[in-house]
Chain A
Amino acid sequence: MSVYIIRRLLQAIVVVVAMSIIVFSGVYLIGDPVDILISDDADQEDRQKLIESLGLDKPFHIQYLTFVARALEGDLGDSFIFNEPALLLILDRMPATLELAVASLLMAIVFGIPLGMWAGLKPDSFFSKSIMAGSILGFSLPTFWVGIMFIMIFAVIMGWLPSGGRGDTTEFLGMEVSFLTWDGLSHLFLPALNLALLKISLAIRLTRAGTREVIHQDYIKFARAKGVSTRRVILVHVLKNILIPVITVMGLEFGSLIAFSVVTETVFSWPGMGKLIIDSINLLDRPVIVAYLMIIVFMFIIINLVVDLMYSVLDPRVRLQDVKS
């Protein structure tokens, strides 16, 4: 087991180092941020001063090593645009993104599981077929377009819900959150649903497949023969057994929700990390781009590491095979 953990950790470190080099050198190569930061009428001397103060005059490998040394101390550089530490800037936006992702995950579970169960219990009914057709659409429609449609229908035409922003926020556990005020909740609903659609479709498919497998098992027949009510069979006997795998998979999708929030945040002007990175790419704010990419890649490596370790605990075949090869 410890061999397996060490191997996985080493692998994760290699990936982090490789990604930092790719990201840093890539970002280093695009455009010249000085052109954007300096007004046209600045003279040569001011220009030189700024370049020096940002450390842009040093050779590439020195810049990279300075970056790494500072990153290890938790300093990912200052944003060119906001003049604030990039890390702080991102951490500042993180609660908004996390709130959106958590809300979407809950929606996926709350909508996806009942719909999937219905489709699994009555596979031939018209409603079930509509659910399945809907889940195919959920998989194939681009998120951003659905978001635009939501805004058009619910905000522009109907005027029921706001089209963007975060609304009133309140302090909760030291973070600004929207879900505790009515106004915030109304701002949260559309983006969360938009982000959740793909995961709702996934939950429907998983639950349906699970339900169809479980209802033919002997213990369900036995429960029915014992005279347990249909309601109890479905809510207790069936649900309990399909819930664990479905929730596990949904939990694993959390990382992808954070990645895809880039799209939803841009459509609904949700002030999270995703919107920040898109703005930073367009403004060539190098430190923020590098910091965001490093943080998100790091997050994913941790998520994948935890998942792998969990699997290896649950299924010894995984780690044995890995050590052998």
Chain B
Amino acid sequence: MTAVTEPTAVDPVKEESSSQKDQTPFRRFVSDFAESKVAVAGLIVFLLIVLIAIFAPLIAPTDPYDLATVDILDSRLEPGAQMMSGTTALLGTDGLGRDMLSAMIYGLRISLGVGAASGLIALMIGVCIGLAAAYFGGRTDTIIMRIVDLQLSFPSILIALVLLATLGKGVDKIIIALIVVQWAYYARTVRGSALVERNKEYIEAATSLALSHRRIVFKHLLPNVMPPLIVVGTVQVASSIALEATLSFLGIGLPVTEPSLGLLISNGFEYMMSGKYWISIFPGVALLITIVSINLVGDRLRDVLNPRLSK
């Protein structure tokens, strides 16, 4: 201990600190991740999308839900046409005269918000349940995994359908439905890797120190099961955004007062037959870019964090 803390004259301090920096796990992870140009591009696009969603009111050319500025005379304008207020509608306007670009930026905000909120809560619930199953084992484990297996044997859309048919519409309802759909994936992932970690020496050491269950589970076990969890989390956020869009498109997801991308696509669908493609297509493209960019990042994370693939 003392030998390390006391600086010796011989040490080339600068060089050592830089090589040490390269050695931290996080640095190694970043440089591994950056090896794939596609994944970096995906990450940049995704971060841009998040920024757009956060700063929506500042970026959007008009406020599509301010009834004072929306003019019905502007409805179904082609992309690039000028609106009554003088603003150019770059991506056209929808059936109610709202600027598509602005509506999409606000819609992105709702889609991402619902996806992230449900993902985070499902993650927390799933992690707690999965860790409990792996750590306590025995009967607890059997019962929990029965429920998880049972749920995963039904397609996600069916579970969401059952829930939304019974709960009704609403932001809170769809978030609940998405949480119920997702928690089992997290629980299964966490349990799988926690079962392996549980038998390792450091857990045995922590147990023999008579630390509380809580402390062992959250301070010792949890950090070591994070990598697979991050991968599943990224993929799940993308799929929950897609599922929310699908449900809203079907008209059983978000109410009309919360127009997410899925709802915008649905609104435009009726105009498509008459050749007014932009109302449906552009929100669709935005949804697509969001999902694909998250999946690209998730794919790369899987490659980087999977211990079987790294040499």
Contacts and interface: CB of A to CB of B under 8 A. Distances in A.
Interface residues of A, number: 43
Contact of B281 (A140, A144, A152): A152
A304 B153 contact: yes
Given A140-B292, A259-B155, A260-B157, A278 B251 contact: yes
Interface stretch (A20-28, A69-77, A100-108): A20-28
Given A141-B288, A259-B157, A281 B165 contact: yes
Interface string B273-301: 10101001100100110011001000100
Interface residue range, chain B: 35 or more
B164 A281 contact: yes
Contacts of A141: 288, 291
Contacts of A15: 150
A159 B155 CA distance: 34
A293 B157 contact: no
A297 interface: yes
B287 A145 contact: yes
B217 interface: no
A233 to B, nearest CB: 31
Contacts of A262: 157, 161, 250
B153 A296 contact: no
- Summarize B's interface: helix, strand, loop or mixed: helix
B233 to A, nearest CB: 16
B165 A156 contact: no
B295 A136 contact: yes
B165 A325 contact: no
A134 interface: no
5 contacts: A22-B166, A140-B238, A148-B272, A156-B272, A259-B161
Given A278-B252, A297-B154, 10 more contacts: A30-B166, A30-B167, A30-B168, A142-B287, A143-B246, A151-B272, A152-B277, A156-B277, A259-B154, A277-B161
Interface of A: 15, 19, 22-23, 25-27, 29-31, 136-137, 140-145, 148-149, 151-152, 156, 163, 255-256, 259-260, 262-263, 266-267, 277-278, 281-282, 289, 293, 296-297, 300, 304, 325
